[in-house]
C-alpha cells in the first residue's frame, strides 16, 4: 500500500534559522508528491508539489525535490519566519487519492 512517513514534531526554531522537515514515502505506481500547510484553526493549503522524479516544487521560499532513488521529498526553507508557524503535511497522490503523513508542527520563535 501507499504510505508517507514524516519526522515527528514539534520542531522549534528561531527566526531566520534553516528548516528541514523530512518526508519519505512508499507507493505503488508513480505518485505525485505534495506539501500542504495548515495554520491554526484552518484547512489545508497546498504549499508546493512535484509530479515526477527530480522535479523541484517551490513556493514562498519553501522547496522540495522529488527524489525517486531515496523515495524522499524533504521540505526546506533557508530562513524561517514566525509567520511560518503551522503544521506541515507531506502527501502523495496515486490515481487521485491522497495519502497524508501525520504532520509536523513547526514553531518559529523570535
Partner 1 sequence: GAVVSQHPSWVICKSGTSVKIECRSLDFQATTMFWYRQFPKQSLMLMATSNEGSKATYEQGVEKDKFLINHASLTLSTLTVTSAHPEDSSFYICSAGTSPPDTQYFGPGTRLTVL
Does 109 bind partner 1 (CB under 8 A)? Our answer is no
Nearest CA to 49 among 66, 24, 28?
Answer: 66
Does 28 bind partner 1 (CB under 8 A)? Our answer is no
Task: Report in angstroms how near the CB of residue 102 gets to partner 1 at its nearest.
Answer: 5
Rounded to whole angstroms, the Cα distance separating 29 from 46 reads: 22
Rounded to whole angstroms, the Cα distance separating 28 from 93 reads: 10
Q: Which of residues 39-68 bind partner 1 (CB under 8 A)?
A: 41-46, 49, 51
Q: Which is nearer to partner 1, 18 or 39 (CB)?
A: 39
Amino acid at each position: 500500500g501507499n504510505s508517507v512517513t514524516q519526522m515527528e514534531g514539534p520542531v522549534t526554531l528561531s527566526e531566520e534559522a534553516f528548516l528541514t522537515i523530512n518526508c519519505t514515502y512508499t507507493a505503488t505506481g508513480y505518485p505525485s508528491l505534495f506539501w500542504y500547510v495548515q495554520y491554526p484553526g484552518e484547512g489545508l493549503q497546498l504549499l508546493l508539489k512535484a509530479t515526477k522524479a527530480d522535479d523541484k516544487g517551490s513556493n514562498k521560499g519553501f522547496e522540495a525535490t522529488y527524489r525517486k532513488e531515496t523515495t524522499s521529498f524533504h521540505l526546506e526553507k533557508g530562513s524561517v519566519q514566525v509567520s511560518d508557524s503551522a503544521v506541515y503535511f507531506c502527501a502523495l497522490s496515486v490515481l487521485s487519492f491522497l495519502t497524508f503523513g501525520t504532520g509536523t508542527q513547526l514553531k518559529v520563535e523570535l
